[in-house]
Amino acid sequence: MMRDGYVVAWQGREYDASPDGDNVRIYRAEPADGFDEVRPGRYVRVLTPQEYDELIYVRTTCTWRGAPFIVLAEANSWLRVEYAGGRAPVARQLGLEEFDFGVYQGWAPLHEVADLNEQRI
């Protein structure tokens, strides 16, 4: 599983999370006690800092065509990647799209990607 975002450890399990001031919202795909349905297949619960064990940021990184990338998403056998090398000429040479000023992204075939690694920040 490719992850890029906040995660909270609560009651022995990790949940996707969003900081909300001093609190944090956690999410799950199925109903459970204390979770409210915000749309079909999406349930949320708000926790106070005293209720959860830790809030961390998780990021998946990889190497593609010899360059460093952050993995943003996965679709079928493709990864949405963002160039992390900081060199615009290299990003252009790799055929990446300039998503924002100095931010280059593209789709990489999963079979071409190496060094997939989850970093906990």
Side chain identity at residue 91, one-letter code: A
**Model confidence over 12-47: pLDDT tens digits?**
999 999 999 889 999 999 999 999 999 999 999 999
Task: Give the separation between CA 4 and CA 70, rounded to whole angstroms.
Answer: 8
Task: Classify each residue of 57-73 as buried b or exposed e, where b means 16 or more C-beta atoms within 10 Å of its C-beta.
Answer: ebbbbbbbeebebbbbe
Using the Cα atoms of residue 22, residue 29, residue 61 and residue 86 in order, give the sign of their dihedral.
negative
Per-residue pLDDT averaged across 75-96, rounded?
95
In the prediction, which pLDDT does 121 show? 85
Backbone angles phi, psi at 93, to 5 degrees: -60, -30
Return phi, psi of residue 111, to 5°. -70, -15
Confidence grade of residue 3 (pLDDT, cut at 50, 70, 90): confident
